[in-house]
Structure 1
Amino acid sequence: MTSSHIDVENVSKIFNAGEREVTALRDINLHIPDGQFVCLLGPSGCGKSTLLNAIAGFSLPSTGKIEANGKLVTAPGPDRGMVFQEYALFPWMTVEKNIGFGLGIKGMAPAEIDKRVGALLDMLSLSDFRHRFPKDLSGGMRQRVAIARVLALDSPIMLMDEPFGALDALTRRNLQDELLRIWAELKKTIVFVTHSIEEAIYLADRIIVMTYRPGTVKRDIIVELPRMRDPSAAAFNELKRELGALVMEEQQRHHNDEIRMAAVD
């Protein structure tokens, strides 16, 4: 039996919102094997990013527990690298300095930093941009740098919060293919948040469809389509329709909840 790389057991998360409490997650149970590519899918407000932040250690569960690499998650750690939608690059640092920043903090020797950064610049087609600053790069290039910075730390787990959500369709597809190539080569465990049904099917081994708040696991689907996946294929679109129906149910619940809250106000 494959061991779990990430274990989420009976996790709930409650936030205080003024005079009332909001339950963002309720009784989440997930067991993610080493090397699996998992997408968290669902409408806004379903708790996808809340769950990802709990795995990262940024916002711990109110109840339940999360383990990564067999250790209880109590804070952020170098075993879990996070890629954000907003890139989160240092604007005063060049591309190579951004990528190597975490290695310097760890105390790695400069020669070793240069070697590792150079390999990542080559891997992500960034070598010609190593001396550029983030302001000089396109959104796609900035996200490549953000991914390279996480890869530099060699974290076995990559957590990705809608990293391609702000990109145009062509750049998004190119980066999806880059990510799949990196994943196949480096065997990382990836947990990837997305609103896009097509993106989830294109990327994932497994799709976790979440309910509208409080977020729970609505469906846990293994994607058995062969790679590379063709979005125009009949099987791809059949799964897309199935997932679309599941997500639309939750969007309707969200809509109905908004109407109810407006009536109360």
Structure 2
Amino acid sequence: MEKNFSHITVRGVNKVFKSSDREVVALKDINLEIPQGQFVCLLGPSGCGKSTLLNAIAGFSPPSSGEITADSRIVTGPGPERGMVFQEYALFPWMTVEKNIAFGLEIKGMSQGEINQTVAKLLDMLSLSDFRHRFPKDLSGGMRQRVAIARVLALDSPIMLMDEPFGALDALTRRNLQDELLRIWAELKKTIIFVTHSIEEAIYMADRIVVMTYRPGTVKRDIMVDLPRLRDPSAAEFNALKRELGMLVMEEQQRHHNDEMRMAAVD
């Protein structure tokens, strides 16, 4: 896996949200170099700007200042090299599983033969073949998220952006999908940026964990995870890193709590 090419670069990124009576600095001076094929987790408490940064990389909400590049091109909006997986699944309820997966390919103008081949491969890869004619309402949350991942994979974007995609799932389904995603990542060599508030999930999944501070969101720590795969959450090394990250995140949660207390006192 090539590691010397910066697939995503974030330089001096700031994001300020303004309203009539106040402004909120959501991101402050974010700098990241993400190599091709790396699995990166953005970790931190609510309000630290994880999703804001991900949306900026996706091109949905450009930074107020600074620059983001993906595949050596400046990000000015959404692009085909960046596929996004949301927590809410974002499936078309009137389409079957296979039609949801095929939708983007049809928009690209691919031939029906190519579409059928790609969809069949992804149905098999994500254990969805028996559900190809079902509608989203007939699927569990875990199965819906499999379809959402398959739809992004169908477009063959080299970069996958994932905003807490397993956050609403039960523990067993979550672990199964974590393993599925790691298998797909190892096979397809995608660059993945994965937002999570779960310390254990970040350690289990990532090559690298970027811990963000509470507002304004900055990079508090940038940690390479050198544990061998597949990782054992009961291992001493796993739990040592979990304690270290727990202390970092708790510091930011305390800052969040103190900020809320100050705001309540002002009100």
Same fold (TM over 0.5): yes
Q: Distance in 1 between matches of 2:100 and 2:177?
A: 19
Q: Distance in 1 between matches of 2:236 and 2:226?
A: 13
Q: Distance in 2 between matches of 1:227 and 1:17?
A: 46
Counterpart amino acid of residue 241 in structure 1: R
Aligned to 1:254: 256
Give 2:59's match in structure 1, choosing from 53, 57, 60.
57
Match status 1:131 vs 2:133 = yes
Moved over 6 A (4+): none
1:16 Cα deviation (Å)?
Answer: 1.1
Match status 1:74 vs 2:76 = yes
Q: Distance in 2 between matches of 1:110 and 1:26?
A: 46
**For residues 26-65 of structure 1, what are the structure 2 equivalents within 5 Å?**
26-65=28-67
1:95 Cα deviation (Å)?
Answer: 0.1
Gaps of 5+ in 2: none
Aligned to 2:191: 189
Counterpart amino acid of residue 121 in structure 1: L
1:264 Cα deviation (Å)?
Answer: 1.1
Q: Percent identity?
A: 83
1:191 Cα deviation (Å)?
Answer: 0.0
Q: Distance in 2 between matches of 1:175 and 1:96?
A: 19
- Pairs aligned (count): 265
SS in structure 2 of the partner of residue 67 of structure 1: strand
Deviates more, 1:1-10 or 1:177-186: 1-10
1:17 Cα deviation (Å)?
Answer: 3.4
Alignment RMSD (CA, Å): 0.6
Gaps of 5+ in 1: none
**For residues 52-131 of structure 1, what are the structure 2 equivalents within 5 Å?**
52-131=54-133
Give 2:171's match in structure 1, choosing from 166, 169, 172.
169
1:33 Cα deviation (Å)?
Answer: 0.1
Deviates more, 1:242-251 or 1:12-21: 12-21
Aligned to 1:221: 223
SS in structure 1 of the partner of residue 214 of structure 2: coil
Aligned to 1:204: 206
Q: Distance in 2 between matches of 1:233 and 1:212?
A: 29
Q: Distance in 2 between matches of 1:84 and 1:92?
A: 19
SS in structure 2 of the partner of residue 255 of structure 1: helix
Structure-1-length-normalised TM-score: 0.99
Q: Distance in 2 between matches of 1:83 and 1:159?
A: 6
Q: Distance in 2 between matches of 1:171 and 1:18?
A: 43
Counterpart amino acid of residue 190 in structure 1: I
Structure-2-length-normalised TM-score: 0.99
Counterpart amino acid of residue 148 in structure 1: A
Q: Distance in 2 between matches of 1:138 and 1:78?
A: 28
Q: Distance in 2 between matches of 1:116 and 1:3?
A: 28
Counterpart amino acid of residue 233 in structure 1: A
Q: Distance in 2 between matches of 1:180 and 1:135?
A: 27
Aligned to 1:243: 245
SS in structure 2 of the partner of residue 81 of structure 1: strand
1:252 Cα deviation (Å)?
Answer: 0.2
SS in structure 1 of the partner of residue 194 of structure 2: strand
1:225 Cα deviation (Å)?
Answer: 0.2
Aligned to 1:152: 154
Counterpart amino acid of residue 14 in structure 1: V
Q: Distance in 2 between matches of 1:181 and 1:201?
A: 16
Q: Distance in 1 between matches of 2:52 and 2:109?
A: 32
Q: Distance in 1 between matches of 2:251 and 2:119?
A: 45
